[in-house]
Amino acid sequence: MNEQRLKNRTAFITGSVQGIGLGVAKCLAGAGANVAIHGLAGKEQSEATLAVLREAGAGDVIFFDTDLRDEAAISEMLEKLTSWNHIDILVNNAGMQITTSLADATGEIWNDILAVNLSAAFHTMRFLMPKMAKHGYGRVINIASVHGLVASVNKAPYVASKFGLVGLSKVAALEYAAVGSKASGGVTVNCINPGWTETQLIQPQIDARSAEFGGDREKGVAALLAEKQPSRRTSDPSEIGELCLWLCSKNAHNITGTSIPVDGGWTAQ
């Protein structure tokens, strides 16, 4: 239990019906927050996810299935969101990745990845952060990636979007740095930069590497880890959730504009 430390706070997490986003949502729900989740999910999956969050300890819960490539749809979602509740915590987690060489990447791939991974965060932040400022407390946590700090081949659109997200976060952190007080908690903006984490997003890469070992998934994962992540261990989405929870505390009022790697030493090399 997280001792209801977020009771009466409200969090909105994009891309939160699975993977890291769901891990974050469950952790914040366990601390008593009202939780708004989002994802391209059907009725059965969305209702099951809301039930999980209620059981975890959430106050009120709500679900949105907005396509984050559509700016008008984002605006409509945000209006509905803020009429439901004031948002204290924004976690921009929604993301997509398509591995392709720069030569083979298409304009459609580029536009879709930049829209979901970067532009959607821009729209949610510019809409919600002024409202946070009026309350003297707000937390924006952008789930970037190690690829917001270092590059890899065959990921040009993805790497560009994540480097952009880190830059956007630094600017917003500076613009809101003096808002609020130690007592209110202030308004902070930080990035979390996961390395290999057990989610569906990395499954295509696991499948490709496993194929090199006759379909042996364990060997495929080990090969990926050996190549980049010195700890040779993957992270669990719940671990990212616990870090988000800590960043939401008032004690974290002076931690802003940072990019925190959770990568087993990947970016230390």
Do residues 64 and 80 make contact, with C-beta atoms less than 8 angstroms apart?
Answer: yes
Measured CA to CA, the distance from residue 269 to residue 267 in angstroms comes to 5
User: Nearest CA to 120 among 92, 96, 146, 145?
Assistant: 92
Instruction: Kindly list the distances between the CA atom of residue 38 and the CA atoms of 64, 117, 174, 228, 231, in Å, as whole numbers in the listed order.
Output: 5, 14, 28, 31, 32
Catalytic residue among 158, 163, 176, 266: 158
Edge-first strand listing for the sheet containing 10-13: 61-64, 34-38, 10-13, 89-92, 137-143, 186-194, 259-262
Do residues 252 and 201 make contact, with C-beta atoms less than 8 angstroms apart?
Answer: no
Measured CA to CA, the distance from residue 39 to residue 41 in angstroms comes to 6
Check if 137 is active-site. Answer: no
What amino acid occupies position 54?
R
Chain position carrying tokens 């830059």: 167
Which amino acids are annotated catalytic?
158
